[in-house]
Structure 1
Amino acid sequence: MKYKRPLKITSRTSSVTNGFVQAILPDALPDREEHGAILAMLEQNPNRLTCVYCGDPAQHWDHLNPYVKGKRPSGYLNEARNLVPACGPCNTSKSGHDWRAWMFGNAKGSPATRGIPNLNTLAARIDNMVALSELKPIDLRTMIDPELWNRYWSRLEEIEALLIAAQREAAEIQEQIAACVRHSSGAEH
């Protein structure tokens, strides 16, 4: 069994980035009618949802297209057309990747690496839903005052720089504590 290594401060930068993106995007959560239409396009039974990527029972709603790309909003929202049923293993493995590249790629846990037999059929259903629902990213930058937009994203860069500086200081503190512990352990024996 592996020991879990302690987290570093900088291992949380993606969480901070996701927070910055999610904080500005409106929630357009689907109503029943919208969701029913999307599920029909995906050939899903609303009473027994299956993962659109592998066909196993679904436990999550996954963003087909990720919120974040390159540390900025991708242009896709939290809306019916971008929410698809997924199983836990697919949702975790896919993370923020492009659904098609991930589905047919060699990422650990992808449907292709798990040997899911009907990938082309599953992908065709997703393609159909994307085409019928006209799912496309929107250019958010054109909706916002450029000065405000740039100022907002510079805050993220400031926070990331502070996290990096704090991690350097944490490493120094950790080394000093470890040296003291080593010294006191050696003195007792």
Structure 2
Amino acid sequence: MLAQVVGMIVDMDTTPDHDGRPRWSAATAAKHCGVSRTTIQRAIAAGRIPGAERGPDGWLLPLSGLIAAGFAVDRPSPPDGDRDHARVEVEQVRAADHLAARVRELEQQLAETRAEAERDRAARYAAEQIAAERDRIIEAQAQALRMLTAGTGTVAPGGTVAPQSPQPPQRSRGLLGRLVDAIGG
């Protein structure tokens, strides 16, 4: 195949290399490969074209180096329909990139919403625990109050203390009166 390609190529800018194969300038290589000169320059800068040599008049690129770099030499350019297809592919890639960005944004919002829901659940659990502890304290205090007041009144049905009628206040007596009471007098 290489012999066929070499046989088909006759160009004024062709310089044979030491094997007799053609070498082209960057502009001529771009024309034969159906790409821009900039594309060829980028391939040279990246070192993808083996055997490329810088001469006094610019780069000399061997045909074998261009083929090794993946360029299609002297093939017809694709029809115009393929350019439209490429434009559609670019639009599809942009749309896919936009959708991927939207998915990432929605995943972030979902993670934030889940974290907020977890915080709310933890706060609700803590509030329930506090309310339960408060109920236990109220019940313990009510029981203690019932125990303290149980000796002074009668217990009404339902565990509450029945109210007592007020007793008349006792007269306070001095030291002498208490001694008399203690002796039995």
TM-score higher than 0.5: no
RCO higher in structure (CA 8 A, sep ≥6): 1
Q: Which has the larger radius of gyration?
A: 2
What TM-score does the superposition give when structure 1 sets the normalisation length? Answer: 0.30
Higher helix share: 2
What TM-score does the superposition give when structure 2 sets the normalisation length? Answer: 0.31
